[in-house]
Amino acid sequence: MKRLILACATSALMSTAAYADDVTLELWTWYPSETVLTKIIDAFEDENPGVNVNLNLFESGAYQDRMPLALASGDPMDVVAVQTSTMVNLVKDGLQPLAPLFDEHGSASIDSLISPSALTQAQSLASDDDLYIAPLGVLGSAAVYYNADLLEELSLTIPRTRDELATFVASVTEQRPDLLPISFTGANWFLDEIALTVAEQAGTGFFNSVRYNTGGRWDDPAYVAAFDAVVSAYSDGLFSKDTLDLDYGRSAELFQQGQAVAFMQGTWESGLLSEPHRTSNTIPLNNVVASGLPVLVEGGSPSIRSFIEVGLAVPEQAKNPELSVKFIEFMAAGGGVEAWSDTLFVVPAAVGFELADGIFNSEAAEASYDEIANLLLNPGSDRNNVSDFSAAAGDALISAILNGDSTAEKTAHLQSEWESGRYSNSE
Amino acid sequence: MSKNNDFLYRRPVEKAVMAGFLVILALVWSVPLVAAVVRGFAFNGWQNFSDVIFNDIGGISLIRTYFNSFVIALLHGFFVALVASLAGYGFAFFEFRGKEVAYFIVLVFLAVPATSILVPLFFITRELGLRDNYLAVALPEAALTLPFGVLLIRNYAEDIPRSLVEAAAMDGASNQRIYLEVFLPMCRPAIVNIIALSMMWSMQDFLFPSLFFSSKEMTTAAQAVLRFREYLGSTPDDIGRYNASLVLLAVPALLIVLFGLRFITSGLTAGGVKE
Amino acid sequence: MSDKKSLISKPRLRDIAFFFGPLIAFYAVFYLFSTGFLIFTSFQKISISLRKGTFIGWRNFELLLTDPNFINAVTNNLVFAAVSIIAGLTLGFVIAVALSTGRRGKTLLYAVFLLPTLMPLALIASVFRVLLESRFGGLNELLRSVGLEQMAMQWLIDPPLAYGVVVVLFINMIGLPIMYYTANLSAINTSVLEAAVMDGARTGRIMREILFPLMRGTHRTIILSTILMSFRAFDIVFFSTQGGPAGTTEITGTYVYRFSTSGTNVGYGSAAALVVMVVALLIAALQLFWTRKRS
């Protein structure tokens, strides 16, 4: 149990070198889970006696509301995790630039501890291109996870193309009509992710061109083709319309309970591939493999949009910047990485990090993880979402799927919405 | 018991139709309730419930959260009852220019959802120095319930016999005395009503506690359940426990209905009409 | 509102302060300041850190009122409110009258109708959601098992059906009107009823021509509070359809929520909140005006 010590009383008297009195480090985050965080915190406290890490853990949505407010109000915070989206720009005025901090207090300069490409993405999030966050790693969407036992039982192989997907679905429906071929949530934001993944399969870096205002438009051929591909996937039965009323939890539940052969989600679900993760969460699956989304456009190749996730930062009001840097280094590039890396939720950004043994229980699983990691590290575009617009894009897709609206009409509509100023893309 | 039972549904046919109608409707209405309970037993049966009640989840003991919820609910109910009854008296018995306009303004804020005033509320709470204080949640909740409370009490007050109040006024009693000795006792059903409603709405609130409490010890029941959704994932144990905790959140409501209902409806005939 | 003469014509200032003071204090702190804040931010493009806001005049309001999704959301609010009111005044009334007779099992029946309004809406809405899942949901599985496959529809996916589901959810909240009618019923004067029965009137007539008109005050309470509180609705839609499919069942609460979660456009969210308040004000005013005319 973490002791709640009023930080204010002790902070003023802190010396930077020794922690003679107990020091409290206020950690604010929404990820990973408390179990994982406790492991990390315990390990850090063991290495740093006299330090108490107080965990302020919130649910993601609540965190989006809570953290910026608390930061702006000067609440006691020593290390804050920032969501790698528009949140960075929202809060950066309350954060300290990391590079100089690491030079001063870290064991090395930050770009020798954390992969430079991850740091570049981190910098791109701030409108002043400065580095405020140390990312834990990289994740992306969309990917597909398969119940390998069911694949074997039904003599199926991982579908890589649209035709293979059609065969896959037909085969499942025929042999086991009680199973859902692919389970995924019909939430609007996820449909947007699917469409954007397909758009990247054309290899033109579509999303970056729109997101970073380098001339891309929502009525470009790459997106129009992707939009069509997704809508036709539903009308041709490759994606089941039944999934449109599944929320995230239910879609995951169906896969884990063996009622679906495959599960489509972001790569943060890669824990499904890890045996320790499955066991500690009592997920009743024995063999899981993964792949990128089947290619749904002509002449395309598999792709994933990826981006850094969970950026750790030092707020202006941190009482002890040296300690904050120490913790960040520990969690992102030091001994702490091993504590969370077996959840496989991100590919760690720590330079030179290798996954421990014992995570995968089959070669196929390990190979498929490498495939996913490879796609993640070579993305077509950044998965740098604008969440309120994403909902609108998803709604456009759903509307086309259910009401047969024309793609031309919908994509033109999306472009005008993008330009309207209503959404958070206009920063 | 109402006196009406002597006058309605006297014919057997009517009685049967009415009974059938009620039973069918009640069955339809209870489907979601039954389904919720069934989901609470998913996968692990009773263990879901015992897990949730007796173990800490995410470092929080469910019992402690119920205690927090209860305290806040009481505070919420108290403030609403006090402030609304005072204002209700004023609106019912005073006459002054602009009264109806003022009343209208009071009521209009019923339309304000909590989500639209979250940000200003956060700053208000900070300025009042109420962080991690039960009042930080109870006061805004009360503010949001007040328009409804005033509506309820004023409407009730205008329907009660004025003879007693008039007599007291004639005797020269001050408004304050009339309020204490005549008004409050006569409005007891409405006051009990609004306190019960306040408490129930308070128990459902997860938004304000999430925003204003940073200490884990202060977590309320509704907030905890929604937090469970995050701490717990999609694994069988978790789903079962999450559903069980949702069902448990309904238990106070059930208790209030079972015990409080009698109080409200029977209390009404006690203050019955004899004009 | 009140057609009875008030008791004390001109109260002293001291009394006004005593009886209205606390209310004014609450309102000043929680509503006045908040409204001021909303007005202040709605004319800016500003983030939740409240730093570096840019004044953009009426732009937020323009964007808001030209967004078909917002207009749709407001319309939905009104429709759902209307449905709740109609259900309350008809079904709720009938149930309340039926329950007011001295029958056995009264408390249990009350409980069944009241519980949905007292429980967390998140629970009810999510239970509905799971029951109505097209593939694995309880309802469709039941229909399939008795051979009624054609009736196993996509309740939450097909826009008209999803709309219907939300309507049903709102009607599920009939417990509150029932409670008010019950309270009022117990307090009415029974001599009129006696006379009617003596004249040989049947139950239906008694209900329609005597009881219903007698409950006028309660009708007004229900109508007004339902309309106004419907603008507060959030959970009931958020946990069932989330405003879907594709915004079909969106209400103002879920609309504002969508734009407030990213925190970068607080001004737009404030504008939405203000417009909703104005709409509510107009409707409430209309309703009061209309009922005053009739009485």
CA distance C104 to C109: 9
Cβ distance of A398 and C133 shorter than 8 Å: no
Question: Is pLDDT above 60 for A12?
Answer: no
Cβ distance of B211 and A65 shorter than 8 Å: yes
Q: What own/partner pairs with CB < 8 Å and gap ≥ 24 does C200-205 have?
A: C202/B11, C202/B14, C203/B8, C203/B9, C203/B10, C203/B11, C203/B14
CA distance C93 to C13: 42
pLDDT (0 to 100) of residue B4: 45
Please give the tally of structural domains in chain B: 2
Do B141 and B29 share a structural domain? Answer: no
Cβ distance of A62 and B119 shorter than 8 Å: no
Do B186 and B88 share a structural domain? Answer: yes
Residues of C in contact with A254 (CB under 8 A): 136
Do B206 and B172 share a structural domain? Answer: yes
| Among the ranges given (A162-176, A210-224, B157-171), the one the predictor scored with the smallest mean pLDDT | B157-171
Do B121 and B28 share a structural domain? Answer: no
Query: Predicted ipTM?
Result: 0.82
User: What's the one-letter identity of residue A366?
Assistant: E
Whether B45 maps to a domain, the answer reads no
Whether B32 maps to a domain, the answer reads yes
pLDDT (0 to 100) of residue A124: 87
Do B71 and B101 share a structural domain? Answer: yes
Do B77 and B162 share a structural domain? Answer: yes
Assess contact for B145 and B197: CB atoms under 8 A: yes
**DSSP-assigned letters across all residues of C224-287:** HHHHHHHTT--HHHHTTTTT-TTTTT--HHHHHHHHHSS-S-HHHHHHHHHHHHHHHHHHHHHH
Do B169 and B91 share a structural domain? Answer: yes
Q: Min CA distance, C42 vs chain A (Å)?
A: 13
Residues of B in contact with A62 (CB under 8 A): 210-211
Whether B180 maps to a domain, the answer reads yes
Q: Residue A323 corresponds to which tokens in the numbers above?
A: 């300690």
pLDDT (0 to 100) of residue A185: 94
Q: Averaged over A244-250, what is the pLDDT? A: 89
Cβ distance of C138 and B35 shorter than 8 Å: yes
Name the percent of chain B in helix, strand, coil, to the closest 5.
80, 0, 20
The alpha carbon of residue A294 and the mean position of all alpha carbons in its chain are separated, in whole angstroms, by 20
According to DSSP, residue A95 is labeled: B
Assess contact for B219 and A264: CB atoms under 8 A: no
End-to-end CA distance of chain A: 42
Domains belonging to chain A, first-starting first, are 2-140+307-348 (3.40.190.10), 143-303+384-426 (3.40.190.10)
Question: Is pLDDT above 60 for A427?
Answer: no
Question: Is pLDDT above 80 for A129?
Answer: yes
CA distance C260 to C264: 8
According to DSSP, residue A285 is labeled: -
Do B186 and B147 share a structural domain? Answer: yes
Q: Which residue of A has its CA nearest to B228?
A: A59
- Spans of chain C, pLDDT less than 70: 1-9, 48-51, 102-103, 187, 189-190, 192, 260-263, 292-295
Question: Is pLDDT above 90 for A401?
Answer: yes
Q: Does B237 touch chain A (CB under 8 A)?
A: yes
Q: Residue A299 corresponds to which tokens in the numbers above?
A: 């002449």
Residue B228 is part of a domain; what is its CATH number? Answer: 1.10.3720.10
| Among the ranges given (A134-148, A196-210, C106-120, C183-197), the one the predictor scored with the smallest mean pLDDT | C183-197
In the block, which residue shows the tokens 């989901």? B39
Q: Which residues pair with B267 in a beta bridge?
A: none
Q: Which residue of A has its CA nearest to C246?
A: A395
Do B85 and B19 share a structural domain? Answer: no
Using DSSP bridges, classify how beta strands A79-82 and A305-313 pair: parallel, antiparallel or unpaired.
antiparallel
Do B251 and B123 share a structural domain? Answer: yes
Confidence bin at B273 (pLDDT 50/70/90) = very low
CB atoms within 10 A of CB A122: 26
Among the partner-chain residues C6, C110, C196, the one whose CB lies closest to the CB of B95 is C6
Residues of A in contact with B212 (CB under 8 A): none
Task: Supply the range of the domain harboring residue B196.
Answer: 51-271
Among the partner-chain residues C102, C111, C115, the one whose CB lies closest to the CB of B5 is C102
Question: Is pLDDT above 80 for B165?
Answer: no
Q: Which residue of C has its CA nearest to B163?
A: C7
pLDDT per position as a tens digit, B109-137: 877 777 777 778 877 887 787 777 899 89
CATH superfamily for C67-294 is MetI-like (1.10.3720.10)
CA distance A82 to A134: 9
Q: Residue C169 corresponds to which tokens in the numbers above?
A: 């959810």
Q: Does B229 touch chain A (CB under 8 A)?
A: yes
Among the partner-chain residues A85, A388, A398, the one whose CB lies closest to the CB of C258 is A388
C-alpha angle A222-A228-A233 in degrees, rounded to nearest 5: 125
Residues of B in contact with C41 (CB under 8 A): 119
Which positions 117-146 of C are in contact with A (Cβ < 8 Å)?
Answer: 129-130, 132-136
Which positions 231-260 of C are in contact with A (Cβ < 8 Å)?
Answer: 242, 244-247, 258-260
According to DSSP, residue A294 is labeled: P
What backbone phi and psi angles, to 5 degrees, belong to C240?
-105, -65
Cβ distance of B265 and C186 shorter than 8 Å: yes
Give C188's Cβ-side CA count (13 Å radius).
25
Residues of C in contact with B89 (CB under 8 A): 19
CA distance A264 to A182: 7
Do B26 and B143 share a structural domain? Answer: no
Cβ distance of A56 and B229 shorter than 8 Å: no
Using DSSP bridges, classify how beta strands A79-82 and A23-29 pair: parallel, antiparallel or unpaired.
parallel
Q: Which residue of C has its CA nearest to A249?
A: C130
Q: Which residue of B has its CA nearest to A251?
A: B234
- Residue partners of A254: CB distance under 8 A and separation at least 6: A180, A183, A246, A260, C136
Whether B11 maps to a domain, the answer reads yes
Do B133 and B83 share a structural domain? Answer: yes
Name the percent of chain A in helix, strand, coil, to the closest 5.
50, 15, 35
Q: Does A8 touch chain B (CB under 8 A)?
A: no
Q: Which residues pair with A114 in a beta bridge?
A: A350
- The set of chains that have 3 or more CB pairs under 8 A with B is A, C
Task: Give domain limits for chain C.
Answer: 67-294
CA distance A304 to A7: 43
